[in-house]
Amino acid sequence: QVQLVQSGAEVKKPGASVKVSCKASGYTFTNYAVQWVRQAPGQRLEWMGWINVGNGNTKYSRKFQGRVTITTDTSASTAYMEVSSLRSEDTAEYYCATDSSGNWFDPWGQGALVTVSS
């Protein structure tokens, strides 16, 4: 079955960068896009951006444009999401999801908690 497994929790200092991975299995990785969504503690889901794994094209939310980079390693069936210039407000659970070529997110990875603290 389609499964996404994300990297573990990270603690970073303000100003640093973090790179979260998302390893896919159970389908042909290049067939579907990978989406990234974050959720600050007690807050709503927030769409960050996505990558067309087949051609490498990306699209980012205006809020994260310039500070977030989404990439893939197709040989490893893994997507990556890097956030630079971290600040305390970036403390959140970061989720990846695939979209089965539709306008929805399913399934989701288990999430990766990123804590930004001095």
Interacting residues toward other proteins by CB under 8 A? 35, 37, 44-47, 50, 59, 61-63, 95, 102-111
Cis (ω within 30 of 0) for the bond into 41? Answer: no
For other proteins, the closer of residues 14 and 26 by Cβ is 26
Calpha distance 21→111 (Å, rounded): 10
Calpha distance 98→84 (Å, rounded): 23
From the CB of 110, what's the least distance to other proteins, in Å?
6
For other proteins, the closer of residues 73 and 106 by Cβ is 106
Beta strands in 26-84 (DSSP E): 34-39, 45-51, 58-60, 68-73, 78-83
From the CB of 74, what's the least distance to other proteins, in Å?
20
From the CB of 7, what's the least distance to other proteins, in Å?
14
For other proteins, the closer of residues 8 and 104 by Cβ is 104
From the CB of 73, what's the least distance to other proteins, in Å?
22
Calpha distance 102→117 (Å, rounded): 37
